[in-house]
């Protein structure tokens, strides 16, 4: 009679089943398990230390970047006047005088300026230009005053714009635009940046008497690089 392989063995009522024998491994097995556990722990510790140092380095770099990131000069127009604005024979005897300030707001960064040029526009026509200063250096957290004047034959305006100018003057407000241009470099300790071409555009309105209007006085000029 063949036995059923799926049938469980039957033990007598007074004979309990034999207990399972524990598996015995050679000592080398346990030594290898201990080494693998130690290697895993060391790897985790090394990775944690590396990631922590990387995070600290990133935070320090970010803080230094914030403190040393160069800020563009802040330019404000304080005065702009056209004393001969009321004359009827054009700009031949007129004069345009202005006063602006250059503010270096950087905490630890100096600014080198190459020669700065100034131009004055009425609408889209340049009616005068001149050089304002030669190369200069500006220390951090300092303000430099720049003043100048356009006068005489350097001031010209076309007949069409002259008619528009007369209409604006009759309305009580004439808007000019003062443009400043220079090449600048930033300096931190012994490091000097590459040269940036800086432009500032200062719209300014004057009244019928040729004096700057309160709406334009002490106004900050947009500054951009090319």
Task: Kindly give, in sequence order, each residue whose CB lies less than 8 Å from that of residue 177, ignoring residues fewer than 6 positions away.
Answer: 120, 121, 122, 201, 202, 203, 204
- Going by the DSSP 8-state scheme, the letter that residue 212 receives in this structure is B
Last-in-domain residue among 69, 88, 123: 69
Indicate if 200 and 122 belong to the same structural domain.
Answer: yes
Q: Which domain holds residue 37?
A: 23-69
pLDDT value of residue 104: 95
Do 126 and 184 reside in the same domain of the chain?
yes
4 part of a folded domain: no
Question: What per-residue confidence (pLDDT) applies to 22?
Answer: 61
Asked if 52 and 160 sit in the same domain, the reply is no
- Tell me: do 28 and 115 sit in the same domain: no
Q: What is the pLDDT of residue 29?
A: 61
pLDDT the model gives residue 62 = 60
Query: Domain boundary at 47, 69, 91, which?
Result: 69
The per-residue pLDDT for 18 is 61
CB 100 within 8 A of CB 74: no
Please tell me the distance from the alpha carbon of residue 88 to that of residue 94, in angstroms, as a whole number: 10
pLDDT at res. 46: 81
For the chain, 226 residues long, the average pLDDT of each consecutive 10-residue run is 56 59 62 65 80 81 62 94 72 80 92 93 87 91 92 67 81 93 89 90 92 94 92
102 and 138 fall within a common domain: yes
Are 164 and 61 members of one domain?
no
**88 and 103 both lie in a single domain:** yes
Same domain, 55 and 91: no
The reply to whether 33 falls in a domain is yes
Q: How many domains does the chain have?
A: 2
The answer to whether 137 touches 112, Cβ cutoff 8 Å, is yes
pTM of the full structure:
0.68
Same domain, 119 and 96: yes
Return d(Cα 116, Cα 199) in angstroms, integer: 10
**What pLDDT score does 143 carry?**
96
59 contacts: CB under 8 Å, gap ≥ 6: none
Would you say residue 16 lies in a domain?
no
Q: What is the β-pairing status of strands 110-113 and 136-138?
A: antiparallel
């Amino acid at each position: 009679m063949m036995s059923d392989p799926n049938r469980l063995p039957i033990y007598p009522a007074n004979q309990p089943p034999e207990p399972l024998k524990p598996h015995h491994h050679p000592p080398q097995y346990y030594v290898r398990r201990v080494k693998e556990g130690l290697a895993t722990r060391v790897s985790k510790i090394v990775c944690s230390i590396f990631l922590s140092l990387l995070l600290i380095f990133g935070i320090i770099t970010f803080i230094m970047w914030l403190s040393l990131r160069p800020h563009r000069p802040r330019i404000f127009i304080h005065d702009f006047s056209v004393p001969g604005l009321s004359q009827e024979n054009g700009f031949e005897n007129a004069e345009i005088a202005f006063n602006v300030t250059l503010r270096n707001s950087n905490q630890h960064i100096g600014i080198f300026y190459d020669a700065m040029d100034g131009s004055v526009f009425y609408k889209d026509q340049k009616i005068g230009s001149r050089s304002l200063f030669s190369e200069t250096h500006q220390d951090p957290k300092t303000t430099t005053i720049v003043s100048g004047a356009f006068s005489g034959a350097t001031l010209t305006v076309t007949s069409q714009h002259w008619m528009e100018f007369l209409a604006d003057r009759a309305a009580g407000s004439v808007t000019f635009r003062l443009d400043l241009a220079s090449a600048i470099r930033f300096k931190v300790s012994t490091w000097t940046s590459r040269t940036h071409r800086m432009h500032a555009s200062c719209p300014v309105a004057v009244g019928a008497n040729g004096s700057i209007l309160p709406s334009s006085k002490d106004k900050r000029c947009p500054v951009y690089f090319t």
